[in-house]
């Protein structure tokens, strides 16, 4: 039911965005692409990318609550609300961080636990989150003339033309050479990054979120695979992974297959991509809510996933994070003593 409302809602916003695009020359808007690429359009609509920033007219049709004391009439845009959390923007373009009279209030909505948590309580927070949440972002000016919205953009959220470039020429020529395709990890890494790409920022025992590119660069897949070798970028993470690990790692697949854990439904991803990163909330003391892209596991019980000051991840996964979220009653020495049996050819 919720999905149907959301699909309908995104049709409405696309029509609205069309009006913005029409004035912008080279950009034609995602609904124009749908005329000839309906399959891609339908996939994309169910993914997180278009959700990233939604006008209130669309977001209010979703099942989201609003911060205490506010109504939808006080809100101009919603940030996220697809997978992990939502934040709200007021009519002046500022991210809401307090109650209507300025009193302390938790204003970030966490989806998994259905709770409100603090987000920079009481601070004046302009929305300067470009270029990662919008299409064709320019740092100049203020979108919609609202002083809190820093920069301007062709459309809220990540539309077709953010990745494929302006489509005007292509829709007229229908020629493949008039539209861009960027399959490199660096293309995705423009947004799936935090800080400098050589480091993996961490905080309070978790890798921080939106840094899949940083993690990937420190991983054994760097340079060997691109993000799009595994992901269909038009689909949600869960349904859009298009290759199985075993298609490249046959030996490990064969060694693991048939074991009690495999038969119990424990997958490659459960161990090699645990939720070591945190966006909104932790599910347990060592389990966050975003899967890591580091992949390599150290079997040394003394190894550390973080630098001594805790500010960065080292790029390896340790057995506490890998095994003990499921084997809660055990400790890391137990895991180290058992680990040899996982891929038993070794
Ligand atoms: C009027 C129909 C039409 C519209 C509208 C249209 N396309 Fe296409 N598109 C095509 C056709 C036809 C091809 C295949 C061209 C070929 O194979 O030579 C194509 C191919 C593509 C490709 C593949 C290019 C490649 O190198 O293989 C991409 C990407 C693409 N379109 C993106 C878009 C985007 C983004 C939009 C909206 C901005 C869009 N298209 C709008 C007709 C259209
Ligand atoms: C997050 C970036 C991103 C967004 C958003 C995106 N695409 Fe793509 N698209 C890609 C990449 C990367 C490829 C190449 C994928 C590959 O070959 O593995 C691609 C491939 C394509 C292709 C041709 C290849 C094929 O699989 O047939 C078409 C057509 C296309 N996209 C259309 C669209 C349309 C239409 C939209 C919006 C509804 C859109 N894309 C949104 C990144 C994106
Ligand atoms: C460098 C690019 C970048 C910047 C800058 C950025 N974000 Fe994000 N954000 C992302 C990416 C990528 C994700 C999703 C992947 C992840 O979280 O690991 C995300 C996720 C989110 C989500 C969760 C979305 C959901 O559906 O659950 C929220 C909310 C959010 N960001 C808010 C903000 C706010 C507010 C700012 C500015 C203060 C900001 N972000 C700045 C890239 C960025
Ligand atoms: C312009 C910035 C930007 C670019 C470029 C970009 N992303 Fe994203 N991506 C985001 C943001 C922001 C989110 C969070 C959306 C949300 O949850 O609201 C996200 C979410 C995702 C998700 C998880 C959400 C879901 O639908 O399940 C995947 C997977 C993903 N991106 C893959 C890719 C890949 C692969 C590429 C490169 C082809 C790419 N992205 C390029 C900004 C970007
Ligand atoms: C398209 C092929 C491909 C896919 C799919 C793939 N990998 Fe890899 N993987 C590689 C390559 C290439 C390397 C680097 C060469 C090597 O050392 O084997 C690698 C390396 C690794 C390593 C480190 C190996 C070592 O010796 O330290 C791990 C662990 C790993 N992959 C796990 C995974 C997991 C888990 C998945 C599924 C989520 C996966 N891989 C999907 C190709 C792939
Ligand atoms: C129960 C947790 C677990 C599962 C499930 C698991 N692995 Fe592993 N994997 C490990 C550990 C731990 C290591 C490190 C082993 C070592 O270095 O001795 C490892 C090592 C690897 C390596 C590095 C090369 C090697 O053999 O040391 C690859 C590649 C790999 N696994 C792929 C896979 C694939 C593919 C799957 C799914 C079929 C999978 N793993 C399932 C825990 C797991
Ligand atoms: C070896 C395959 C592989 C590569 C390469 C890869 N991913 Fe993933 N990614 C996955 C798998 C598997 C998942 C988990 C899907 C699921 O939840 O079932 C995932 C999940 C995600 C998520 C959502 C996180 C979550 O907790 O659901 C994002 C965002 C993402 N990937 C972005 C990227 C980006 C950006 C790159 C390139 C820098 C990339 N991925 C490279 C396999 C890969
Ligand atoms: C996603 C959850 C999950 C993860 C992660 C996981 N396990 Fe398991 N493990 C299970 C389940 C389920 C079983 C089978 C039923 C049971 O024993 O509860 C099992 C069984 C086992 C057994 C006894 C069964 C046998 O095969 O003889 C050992 C030993 C074991 N796991 C070790 C590990 C180690 C070491 C790791 C980390 C490298 C690990 N597990 C990671 C869920 C997990």
Q: Ligand 6, residue 266: give the atom nearest the CA.
A: 5
CB 34 within 8 A of CB 79: no
Q: Is the CB of 181 under 6 A from ligand 1?
A: yes
What number of other Cβ atoms are within 10 A of residue 324's Cβ? 21
Q: What is the mean pLDDT of residues 307-315?
A: 97
Percent residues over pLDDT 90 in the chain? 90
Q: Which residues contact 2 (CB under 8 A, 6 or more apart)?
A: 62, 63
Is the bond preceding 131 in cis, omega lying within 30 degrees of 0?
Answer: yes
Q: Measure Cα distances from 234 to 16, 97, 122, 125, 285 in Å.
A: 21, 32, 37, 31, 33
Q: Ligand 3, residue 81: give the atom nearest the CA.
A: 26
Q: Is the CB of 314 under 6 A from ligand 8?
A: no
Q: What is the mean pLDDT of residues 312-334?
A: 97
Q: Measure Cα distances from 60 to 9, 18, 28, 75, 88 in Å.
A: 9, 20, 26, 9, 11
Q: How far apart are CA 79 and CA 242, in angstroms?
A: 28
Ligand positioned closest to the Cα atom of 52: 4
Distance 172 CA to ligand 1 centre (A): 10
CB 202 within 8 A of CB 306: yes
Of 303, 338, 313, 310, residue with least CA distance to 323: 338
CB 319 within 8 A of CB 332: yes
Q: Ligand 2, residue 33: give the atom nearest the CA.
A: 35
Distance 210 CA to ligand 3 centre (A): 6
Q: Is the CB of 339 under 6 A from ligand 6?
A: yes
- HSE-up (13 A, CA, CB side) for residue 118: 6
Q: Angle 144-77-116 (CA atoms, 0-180°, nearest 5)?
A: 150
Q: Is the CB of 268 under 6 A from ligand 7?
A: no
Q: Is the pLDDT of residue 54 over 70?
A: yes
Task: Determine the residue of 237, 268, 283 to mutate for testing ligand 7's pocket, defined as the one with the most ligand atoms within 8 A of the Cβ atom.
Answer: 237
Of 210, 250, 242, residue with least CA distance to 226: 242
Q: What is the mean pLDDT of residues 2-30?
A: 51
Looking at per-residue confidence, does 63 or 253 come out higher?
Answer: 253
Q: pLDDT tens digits, residue range 222-249?
A: 999 999 999 999 999 999 999 999 999 9
pLDDT for 101 equals: 93
Q: How confident is the model at residue 63 (pLDDT cuts 50, 70, 90)?
A: confident
Residue of minimum CA distance from atom 38 in ligand 3:
129
Q: pLDDT tens digits, residue range 243-264?
A: 999 999 999 999 998 899 999 9
Distance 70 CA to ligand 2 centre (A): 38
Q: Which residues contact 94 (CB under 8 A, 6 or more apart)?
A: 124, 125, 126, 127, 148
Q: What is the mean pLDDT of residues 81-104?
A: 96
Q: Is the CB of 52 under 6 A from ligand 7?
A: no
Q: Is the pLDDT of residue 30 over 70?
A: yes
Q: Is the CB of 167 under 6 A from ligand 1?
A: yes
């Amino acid at each position: 039911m919720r999905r149907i409302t959301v699909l309908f809602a995104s049709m409405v916003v696309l029509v609205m965005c069309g009006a913005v695009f029409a004035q912008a020359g080279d950009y034609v808007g995602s609904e124009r692409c749908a005329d000839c690429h309906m399959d891609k359009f339908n996939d994309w609509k169910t993914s997180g990318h278009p959700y990233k920033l939604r006008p209130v007219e669309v977001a209010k049709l979703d099942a989201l609550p609003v911060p205490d004391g506010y109504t939808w009439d006080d809100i101009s845009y919603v940030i996220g609300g697809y997978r992990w959390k939502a934040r709200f923007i007021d009519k002046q373009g500022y991210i809401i961080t307090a109650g209507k009279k300025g009193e302390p209030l938790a204003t970030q909505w966490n989806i998994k636990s259905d709770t409100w948590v603090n987000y920079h309580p009481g601070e004046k927070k302009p929305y300067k989150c470009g270029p990662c949440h919008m299409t064709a972002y320019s740092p100049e000016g203020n979108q919609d003339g609202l002083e809190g919205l820093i920069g301007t953009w062709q459309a809220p959220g990540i539309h077709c033309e953010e990745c494929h470039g302006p489509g005007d020429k292509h829709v007229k020529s229908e020629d493949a050479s008039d539209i861009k395709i960027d399959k490199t990890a660096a293309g995705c890494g423009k947004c799936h990054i935090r800080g400098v790409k050589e480091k993996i920022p961490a905080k309070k025992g978790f890798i921080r979120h939106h840094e899949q590119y940083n993690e990937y660069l420190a991983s054994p897949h760097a340079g060997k695979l691109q993000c799009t070798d595994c992901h269909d970028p038009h689909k949600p993470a869960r349904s859009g992974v298009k290759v199985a690990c075993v298609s490249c790692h046959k030996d490990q697949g064969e060694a693991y297959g048939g074991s009690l854990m495999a038969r119990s439904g424990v997958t490659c991803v459960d161990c090699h991509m645990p939720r070591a990163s945190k966006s909104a909330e932790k599910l347990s003391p060592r389990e966050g809510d975003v899967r890591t892209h580091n992949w390599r596991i150290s079997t040394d019980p003394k190894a550390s996933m973080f630098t001594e000051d805790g500010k960065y991840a080292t790029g390896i996964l340790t057995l506490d994070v890998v095994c003990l979220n499921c084997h809660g009653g055990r400790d890391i020495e137990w895991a180290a003593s058992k680990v040899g049996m996982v891929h038993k050819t070794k």
